[in-house]
């Protein structure tokens, strides 16, 4: 039977080719579109996660509710010990401590509220990729009294690279404190609200400035699978409770505020869009297959008049569909993979759009969309192609197989 199916396929090359092409194209598009959407989605979340909440955060329980006020006295003491508890969890890939503090900077005759963050410069590249966002100068170094400042903020304050800014604020215990910080570099994340209101200093200097020796305001954690963050958050929370009672709390990125709700919303919307595309793609396969089998009614009639039984005829047709489906899906999946790979590495560069808008918005970085390269996605596309090819072949195959040979022969 296999041989007959194969011969049939090869007999009418054009038809086979067209059918195959159609299937391959549909699979290809299904693969790279989902790669693209996933990539863009992940990117969107990722950015925000890296800049603010991490996958999981450990905070002082008193800090949680009053976070907007950045209460320094609700801190994590001996933070390295606490950090180690998080590190012990097998799902955790990275941890680092941070201090966030509010400052009033002198600006014209008024004061500008600004956010300062004490970071470990060497680790920061793994989190926010700050090192890649530097527009001028270089990243700060531990132990140095220097800062990295957002470009817009520097501009508003009239500061240049190398200038010294005196930051005055209150320590965790109510004393006035200040530090002269040299601007070692300026950064831009491309998000105006961040570039206008934040600066970074080394963690050890923040601890010194704010009387927080050995302490931090939050421990920032990245995990292997960000979708499992709530679980990991609970696990770490339980370990912390054993040692510290309820003093420290964990939070996963999913419950970090309204922003994430909206992002989840976006994910669903794009999921819906993908579903529609998938629908169209599968319909194309169905359509093509259907028509393909339909066209062969005469052939089928011939086979039947040669004495083949209904079941056999159907079997052959389905086998043909399977063969074409497998090959075409394979080809399509490969093409799709190729495009996905290109999109994942090079990405789609839309910075031209921003150049056009440069007048109004200062975005010195390029806006590149990257896809997610995933074997899972590719395999799914492959299977989908085969599935629909065979599925589509069934109804016409059934119909044709049951026709009287003479009827079949009569159709043109």
Partner 1 sequence: MKFRLLLLVIICCAVAGIAPAVQMSGEDIIRKVDSNLTFDSAQFEAKMLIYVGDEVREKRMISYAEGADKSFSEFTYPARDKGVKYLKLGDQMWMYLPSVEKSIKIAGHMLRQSMMGSDYSYEDALESRKLLDKYSISLAGEKEGNYVLDLTAKVKDVTYYKRKVWVDKTTFIPMRGELYAKSGKLLKVSTTEKVEEFGGRFYPTKSVLRNLLRKNSRTEFIITSAKFNVPIPSGTFTERNLTR
Partner 2 sequence: MLIKLAFRNIFRHFTRTFLTFLAIALGLALLIIMDSMLTGIDQESFDKIINYETGHIKIFDRGYREDEENLPLDRSIEKPGSIIKELQKDQNVAGVTARINFRIMLSDGVDQFPAVGIAIDPKDDQTVFLMKQSIDKGAFFDGDEEAMLLGEGLAEDFGVDVGDYLTILTRTKYDTYQALDLRIKGILRTEDPKIDWSAAVIPLGLGQESLDMGTGVTEIDIKLKDPAKTKEFRDTLAKEITGVEVATWKDLAEDVIAIAQAKRGGSAFLLFSVFLIALIGISNTILLAAFERVREIGMMAAMGMRRRQIIRLFVFEGAMIGMMGSIAGCLLGILINIPFVKYGLNWGFMMRDVGDFGYRITGASRGVWNPTMIIVAFVFGIVISALTSIYPARVASRMEPTEALRKT
Binding site for partner 1 (CB under 8 A): 104, 106, 109-111, 166, 168, 170-171, 173-180, 211
Q: Residue 364, interface with partner 2 (CB under 8 A)?
A: no
Select the binding partner of residue 211 from partner 1, partner 2, none (C-beta < 5 to 8 A, by kind). Answer: partner 1
Chosen residue from 4, 134, 192, 244 binding partner 2 by CB under 8 A: 192
Q: How far is residue 325 from each of residues 5, 16, 33, 42, measured CA to CA in Å?
A: 13, 10, 20, 31
Instruction: Calculate the alpha carbon distances from 191 to 195, 197, 352, 364, 409 in Å.
Output: 6, 11, 17, 11, 69
- The packing angle between helices 297-305 and 375-402, to 10°, is 60
C-beta of 175 vs 360, nearer to partner 1: 175
3-class DSSP state for residue 54?
A: coil
Closest CA to 320 of 283, 289, 288, 287: 289
* CB 178 to partner 1: min, Å: 4
Q: Is 268 in the site for partner 2 (CB under 8 A)?
A: yes
CB 212, CB 203: distance < 8 Å? no
Would you tell me how many other CB atoms lie within 10 Å of the CB of residue 129? 15
Cβ proximity to partner 2: between 121 and 381 the closer is 381
Smallest distance, partner 2 to C-beta of residue 84, A: 26
Kindly tell me which of 178 and 276 has the beta carbon lying closer to partner 1: 178
Answer with the entry of partner 2, partner 1, none that 266 interacts with (C-beta below 5 to 8 A by kind).
Answer: partner 2
Q: Which residues of 50-74 are buried (b: 16+ CB within 10 A; e: fewer)?
A: bbbbbbbbbbbeebeeebeebbbbb
According to CB under 8 A, which one of 86, 96, 210, 363 is a site residue for partner 2?
A: 363
- Say whether residue 405 binds partner 2 (CB under 8 A): no
State the nearest-atom distance from the C-beta of 398 to partner 2, in Å. Answer: 14
CB 215 within 8 A of CB 75: yes
Stretch that binds partner 2, among 78-86, 119-127, 259-267, 373-381 (CB under 8 A): 259-267
The smaller minimum CB distance to partner 2, of residues 182 and 192, is found at 192
- Single out the residue of 2, 173, 283, 379 in contact with partner 2 (rule: CB under 8 A): 283
Q: What is the per-residue burial (b if ≥16 Cβ within 10 Å, else e) of 362-392?
A: ebeeeeeebbbbbeebbebbbebbbebbbbb
Selected binder of partner 2 within 335, 341, 342, 354 (CB under 8 A): 354
Q: Does 8 participate in binding partner 2 (rule CB under 8 A)?
A: no
Q: Does an H or E element contain 148, and which?
A: strand 146-150
How far apart, in whole angstroms, are the C-alpha atoms of residue 111 and residue 203? 24
- Name which position in 294, 322, 326, 391 contacts partner 2 (CB under 8 A): 294
Which residue's CB is nearer to partner 2, number 15 or number 87? 15
CB 58, CB 250: distance < 8 Å? yes
**DSSP output for 70-139:** --TTS-BTTHHHHHHHHHTSTTEEEEEEEEEEEEEEEETTEEEEEEEEEE-HHHHHHHT-GGGGEEEE--
Binding-site member from 2, 7, 46, 65 for partner 2 (CB under 8 A): 65
Site string for partner 2, 223-252 (x = CB under 8 A): -------x---------------------x
Binding site for partner 2 (CB under 8 A): 14-15, 18-19, 21-22, 25-26, 29, 32-33, 36-37, 40, 65-66, 68-69, 110, 112-113, 191-193, 230, 252, 254-255, 258-259, 261-262, 264-266, 268-269, 272-273, 276-277, 279-281, 283-284, 287-288, 290-292, 294-295, 298-299, 348, 350, 353-354, 357, 360-361, 363, 367, 369, 412
């Amino acid at each position: 039977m296999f041989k007959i199916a194969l011969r049939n396929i090869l007999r009418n090359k054009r038809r086979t080719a067209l059918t195959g092409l159609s299937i391959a194209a549909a699979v290809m598009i299904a693969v790279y579109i989902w790669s693209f959407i996933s990539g863009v989605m992940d990117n969107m979340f990722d950015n925000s996660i890296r800049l603010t909440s991490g996958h999981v955060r450990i905070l002082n329980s008193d800090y949680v509710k009053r976070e907007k006020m950045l209460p320094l006295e609700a801190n994590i003491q001996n933070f390295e010990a606490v950090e180690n508890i998080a590190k012990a969890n097998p799902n955790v890939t990275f941890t680092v401590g941070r201090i966030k503090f509010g400052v009033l900077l002198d600006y014209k005759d008024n004061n500008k509220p600004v956010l300062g963050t004490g970071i470990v410069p060497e680790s920061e590249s793994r989190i926010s990729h700050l090192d890649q966002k530097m527009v001028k100068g270089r990243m700060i170094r531990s132990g140095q009294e220097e800062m990295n400042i957002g470009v817009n903020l520097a501009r508003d304050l009239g500061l240049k690279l190398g200038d010294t800014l005196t930051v005055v604020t209150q320590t965790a215990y109510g004393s006035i404190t200040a530090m002269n910080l040299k601007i070692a570099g300026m950064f831009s994340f491309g998000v105006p609200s961040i570039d206008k209101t934040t600066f970074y200093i080394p963690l050890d200097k923040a601890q010194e400035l704010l009387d927080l020796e050995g302490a931090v305001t939050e421990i920032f954690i990245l995990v292997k699978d960000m979708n499992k963050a709530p679980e990991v958050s609970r696990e770490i929370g339980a370990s912390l409770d054993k040692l510290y009672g309820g003093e420290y709390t964990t939070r996963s990125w999913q419950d970090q505020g309204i922003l994430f709700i909206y992002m989840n919303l976006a994910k669903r919307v794009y999921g819906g869009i993908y579903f529609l595309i998938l629908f169209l793609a599968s319909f194309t396969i169905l359509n093509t297959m259907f028509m393909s089998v339909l066209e062969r009614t005469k052939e089928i009639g011939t086979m039947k008049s040669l004495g083949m039984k209904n079941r056999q005829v159907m079997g052959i047709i389905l086998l043909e569909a399977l063969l074409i489906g497998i090959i075409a899906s394979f080809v399509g999946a490969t093409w799709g993979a190729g495009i996905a790979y290109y999109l994942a590495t090079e990405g789609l560069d839309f910075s031209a759009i921003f150049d056009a808008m440069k007048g109004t918005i200062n975005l010195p970085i390029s806006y590149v969309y990257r896809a997610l390269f995933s074997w899972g996605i590719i395999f799914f596309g492959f299977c989908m192609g085969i599935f629909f090819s065979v599925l589509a072949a069934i109804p016409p195959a059934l119909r044709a197989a049951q026709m009287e040979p003479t009827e079949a022969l009569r159709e043109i």
